[in-house]
Chains A and B, each alone.
Chain A
Amino acid sequence: MKLKDKIILWSRLKSPWIIHFNTGACNGCDIEIVDALTPKYDIERFGILLKGTPRHADVMIVSGPLTRQQAKRFKRIYDQMPEPKFVLAVGTCACSGGVFDGCYNVIGGIDKVIPVSAYIPGCPVRPEAIIDAVVKLITELEKSAN
C-alpha cells in the first residue's frame, strides 16, 4: 500500500466521521444515537465526530424504515459520500422495515436501495450497541487493510 493510502486509512480508522440520516424513523433510534454522544457513553472519545454533510463523512448511520419519499434523496446523499464509505443500518426498522413492514409508504429496510456494511438490530438500539458496531467496523477495516 502506498504511504498516502496508509495515512488515509489510519485517519479513517482512528477518527471515523459520521453522518446521520433519518429515513422516516420514529426518532427512538435517533435519540439513542445522540445519547451516544452525551457524557454517559461519549462516543467522541473514539474520535468519532458527527458531521452535517455527506462529503466529509466516512460512515453513514441510518435509522428508520425507508419511506418512499425518502428513497431518492437517500440515494443521492449516499452517492455524495466519498469512497470508501460504510453504511450502518441502525435499528430493526433500518434493517428490515421493522414494525412498519407492510405499510404502504414504507419500502422496507435500507438495503433495498444501497449496500449496507453492518446491521444493528434493536428497537431502539442501545448506545452500547452502536459503539460496539463502530468498533467492530473499524476492526474489520484494519483486518482488510493488512
Chain B
Amino acid sequence: MSELTKEEEILKEIKDKFSDAVENSIIQRKSRIWIDVSENAKLDIMRYLKEKGYYHLSTITGFDEGEKLGAIYHITNHKIIINLRVRTQKENPILKSVLPVYPSATSYERELEDLFGIKIDGLPEGRNYPLPEGFPKGVHPLRKDVKLEELNKMLNEKCIKEE
C-alpha cells in the first residue's frame, strides 16, 4: 500500500533505533500509528519524534486495563498521529513526566494523577486538576474498580456530614 509510505517510514525508523523498547506496533490506517513502548525509553523516543517534526502533543489519555494502568500519548505533526502507549503496574503506579519534551503536558498529567492515581514523577507541585478541592484522597474516579453508584453514594454522604 503505497499510500502508507510515510507511516511505514517513521515506524521503521523508530523500530530500528529503539528496537528493545518497542513491544507492539500497528499502522491502523492512514495517519494512525499505535506503538506500545516501554516506560523507560518513552522520553528518548519522544525526543526523537520531536526532532522529526512531531512537536504537537494533542493530549494524554489515561486508561485502566484491569491488571495494569497506563497512558497513551497522542503526538502529531498535524498529518500523522503517533499514539504511544505505556503501561505501569496497578500497585504504586508511576510514570515519568514528559514535561522536558512537551511543556504543554501539565494539565494532562495532572489529570492522570487525579483520575487514575498514577504518580507522575517530575510534575511540579500544584493544585489538583480536574477534581475539586475536598474530593476524598485516594479515590480515583476513572479506575474500573470504582463504581459510579457507590462513588455517588459515598460523595453524598460526605457532603451531608460536612453540612
Give chain A's interface residue range (CB within 8 Å of chain B): under 10
CB distance from A67 to the nearest CB of B (A): 8
Cβ-defined contact, B159 with A68, below 8 A: yes
Chain A residue contacts of B156, Cβ below 8 A: 107
For B151, give its contact among A67, A71, A104, A107 (CB under 8 Å): A104
CB distance from B147 to the nearest CB of A (A): 10
Chain A residue contacts of B152, Cβ below 8 A: 102, 104
Is B41 in contact with chain A by the CB < 8 A criterion?
Answer: no
- Contact A71-B159, Cβ < 8 Å, known A102-B152, A104-B141, A104-B148: yes
Whole-angstrom CA separation of A107 from B155 in the bound complex? 9
State the interface size on chain B (CB cutoff 8 A): 12
Cβ-defined contact, A104 with B133, below 8 A: no
Is A69 in contact with chain B by the CB < 8 A criterion?
Answer: yes
Taken residue by residue from 61 to 76, chain A's Cβ proximity to chain B (1 for < 8 Å, 0 otherwise) reads as: 0000001110100000
Is B132 in contact with chain A by the CB < 8 A criterion?
Answer: yes
Cβ-defined contact, B132 with A68, below 8 A: yes
CB distance from B95 to the nearest CB of A (A): 24
Taken residue by residue from 140 to 163, chain B's Cβ proximity to chain A (1 for < 8 Å, 0 otherwise) reads as: 010000001001100110010000
CB distance from A40 to the nearest CB of B (A): 36
Chain A residue contacts of B134, Cβ below 8 A: 68-69
Cβ-defined contact, A68 with B155, below 8 A: yes
For A69, give its contact among B133, B141, B148, B151 (CB under 8 Å): B133
Whole-angstrom CA separation of A107 from B132 in the bound complex? 13
Cβ-defined contact, B132 with A105, below 8 A: yes
Cβ-defined contact, A102 with B155, below 8 A: no
Whole-angstrom CA separation of A67 from B159 in the bound complex? 12
Whole-angstrom CA separation of A67 from B132 in the bound complex? 10
- Among residues of A, the one whose C-beta sits closest to the C-beta of B141 is A104
Chain B residue contacts of A104, Cβ below 8 A: 141, 148, 151-152, 155
Chain A residue contacts of B155, Cβ below 8 A: 68, 104-105
CB distance from B142 to the nearest CB of A (A): 10
B21-41 contacts to A, CB under 8 A, are none
Cβ-defined contact, B132 with A69, below 8 A: yes
Chain B residue contacts of A68, Cβ below 8 A: 132, 134-135, 155, 159
Whole-angstrom CA separation of A104 from B155 in the bound complex? 8
Whole-angstrom CA separation of A102 from B134 in the bound complex? 19
